Chains A and B, each alone.
Chain A
Amino acid sequence: MTATIDTSTEARPGSPVRLAGLRRGYGQVTALDGLDLDIAPGELVSLLGPSGCGKTTALRIVAGLEHSDAGAVFVDGQDITKVPANKRDMAMVFQSYSLFPNLTAGENVAFGLRLRGVSPAERRKRSGELLELVGLNQHYDRYATQMSGGQQQRVALARALAIEPKVLLLDEPLSALDAKVRVQLRDEIRGLQQRLGITTLFVTHDQEEALSMSDRVAVMNDGRLEQCASPDEVYTRPATPFVAAFVGAMNRIGGIASGTEVEILGQRLSVTQPPEVPAGSKVTALVRPESVLISPAVAGTVRVARSSFRGPVTRVTVELPDGTEVDSDLPSSAAVDLRPGALADIRFAPEPVMVIR
């Protein structure tokens, strides 16, 4: 049998993926509690959540490496729930470098092509092209042990792309890499994914990765989907207190509810969703550190507890009169005079905030 492999690296229409009511339990533990998710063709959706939230279980069920107790997976409208992993036409990049140690980089990339009956000459040509695509054409004859972690993950990505899968699955592929390589490879993966138009499901616990790479971010908690929206929406308009707390840093500041507004430290701010409490009730407002503005003031109402320099930004933590600590991310140039013990004024950016009881 000879399969025809498209040697171009131009975008092709990806396949739509639908997860419908996926459930999975391990004894008393529920890993997935009815997960519904639609992924559009060519879209990159990140499953983001803390350890044990079920994101990897969901990915493995899509890959066919694990079965679900209930629910179904659809690709191109076809129910593939019962289809074995090797017949799903998907490719996965694993967290641990999963290159076959007995094969060179080129042979690893050609592995899937060989299984599809591609001729040796075509395999060699195609695997060389893919290694070039990930910037490793000089490493064709190197074994996994002769390459760095970043190089191994690039080869693993090339190997996954070689079979032109309908869906690309990424299981925390960057988490074992050092910070610099991680950022570089993150951009490369996103660039390739967009260029090839391949539908991609990306599992990560790193919110920066999820926010910077995804078309949409699906935030999971306790086996359930909390919110699935664009990175901007997840960050600025979190649907649930969990999303608000998990994605980015968040201050919890006591306030008084007043219809569509909340009063915190004498300042009235509009709320994203009015809480179901009578006006005048005590509530908690969730405010991002970058929305908290601190300025030095001799007769200030708050005291600087500590400050932490983070390059362009300095995180200044102030203590409110009631003892609550509030974080503020300020441009480092504006934080010079905010030394621990100094008095300061606090204001909030006039943006809608989330309020919980």
Chain B
Amino acid sequence: MTAVVDLTTAPRAATRRKLGRSRVVAWLVLIVSALFFLIPIVASVEFSLRGVHDTHDLSTWENLFGQPGFLDNLITSLELAAGTVVITLVLMVPTTAWVHLRLPRMRRLIEAICVLPLVIPAVVLANGVLVAFRGGPSWITGSPVILALEYVVLALPFTYRTLDAGLSSIPLTTLVEAGRNLGASWLTVLMRVVVPNLRTSILNASILSAAMVLGEFTIANLLLLNTLPVWTVQAGQQDGEVATAASMLILIVTWALLLLMSVFGQRGARRTGRSS
């Protein structure tokens, strides 16, 4: 009897086994990572739902909105998020577009400057702002406006990078020149050519900035201003369940924003057949 060995199937089987093993490892890493994030969240939700005598109910969540200062601080945080987003976009969209159009060689330098807030400790930033605005008008120094300005700085890294990536993905120079050539002023070019084609990037930058503001505690606390995260920490010293529910609320709002980003991004990409 002659044994026939198929030389082509043997290596294929080895490759399949190898692929199978790496797939198992990938799933394992995914599951461990998911558990790492989900367990604290599930535990927090469970804790916020605890009632008396080891029962579970919505009483903590129902009481949350009636807690003194909660709504005020929630509104302050939402206002701060909106203000930060508006100031950041008004400042960064034209600047980044101008850098792409006229100062392309400066892109790396400007990126480096925009990333600085990531490597400067929050306490240094907070003190810097206090020193810079010492003697400044009280509508800035004595109000959340100063915090919004601080958050604009903190939002620079993701705003710049997101807009930079978006601008790199479109033929900006040609589009701007086409717009100018057809009779558009610089402002019109910005509003009708640049902004619509950066829709997804602008949305991403906005939501990342808003999410950062909604969760920021250190600087607000150092500047002695009340926001939802500051209120949450203070509330946690008296009622852990309320604080946990407030934390979960911040998380839900942030996730809702991210979901919004994803939906709008996909819709924009579907409409034009591309994304930026």
Contacts and interface: CB of A to CB of B under 8 A. Distances in A.
Interface of A: 63-65, 84-87, 89-92, 94, 96, 98, 100-103, 111-112, 115-116, 143-146, 156, 159-160, 163, 169
B58 interface: no
Contacts of A111: 179, 182, 192
- Smallest CB-CB A-B distances: 8 pairs: A145-B273, A112-B182, A98-B178, A102-B196, A85-B180, A98-B174, A115-B183, A92-B181
A108 to B, nearest CB: 9
B170 A101 contact: yes
Contacts of A116: 183
A65 B173 CA distance: 10
Contacts of B192: 111
A144 B184 CA distance: 20
A84 B184 CA distance: 10
B183 A86 contact: yes
Contact of A91 (B174, B182, B274): B182
7 contacts: A65-B180, A85-B177, A86-B182, A89-B183, A101-B170, A111-B182, A156-B178
Contacts of A169: 181
A241 to B, nearest CB: 36
Nearest to A116: B183
Interface in B133-178: 170-171, 174-175, 177-178
Contacts of B171: 96, 98
B272 A86 contact: no
A169 B171 CA distance: 19
B199 interface: yes
Given A143-B271, A143-B272, A145-B274, A98 B183 contact: no
Select the residue from A101, A143, A159 with max chain B CB neighbours within 10 A: A101
B188 interface: yes
B146 to A, nearest CB: 37
Given A94-B178, A100-B193, A102-B271, 17 more contacts: A65-B180, A86-B181, A89-B183, A90-B181, A91-B181, A91-B182, A98-B171, A98-B175, A101-B170, A101-B273, A102-B196, A115-B188, A116-B183, A143-B272, A145-B272, A163-B182, A169-B181
B232 interface: no
B22 interface: no
Contact of B182 (A64, A115, A145): A115
Interface in B42-98: none
Given A101-B170, A145-B274, A94 B177 contact: yes
Contact of B185 (A86, A91, A112, A144): A86
Contacts of B178: 92, 94, 98, 100, 156
B273 A143 contact: yes
A145 B271 CA distance: 10
Contacts of B193: 100
B197 interface: yes
The B interface is mostly helix, strand or loop, or mixed, namely helix
A91 B184 CA distance: 12
A87 B183 contact: yes
Contacts of A87: 183
Contact of A146 (B183, B184, B197, B273): B273
B200 to A, nearest CB: 11
Task: Identify the interface centre among B171, B182, B271, B274: most chain A CB within 10 Å of its CB.
Answer: B182
Interface in B176-210: 177-185, 188, 192-193, 196-197, 199
A102 B273 CA distance: 9
B197 A96 contact: no
B185 to A, nearest CB: 6
A339 B87 CA distance: 76
Nearest to B182: A112
A115 B272 contact: no
Contacts of A159: 182
Nearest to B185: A86
A100 B177 contact: no
Nearest to B170: A101
B199 A102 contact: yes
B161 to A, nearest CB: 22
A86 B180 contact: yes
A59 B170 CA distance: 23
A84 B178 CA distance: 13
B262 to A, nearest CB: 19
Nearest to B195: A102
Contact of B181 (A63, A101, A143, A144): A63
A144 B170 CA distance: 13
Nearest to A156: B178
A146 B271 CA distance: 11
A92 B182 CA distance: 8
B27 to A, nearest CB: 36
B173 to A, nearest CB: 9
Interface in B232-276: 271-274
Nearest to A92: B181
B197 A100 contact: yes
A116 B273 CA distance: 29
Q: Which among A98, A160, A169 has the greatest number of chain B C-beta atoms within 10 A?
A: A98
B258 to A, nearest CB: 23
In the complex, which of the residues B180, B181, B192, B199 has the most CB atoms of chain A within 10 Å of its own CB atom? B181
Nearest to A87: B183
- Residue among A111, A159, A169 with max Cβ neighbours from chain B (10 Å): A111
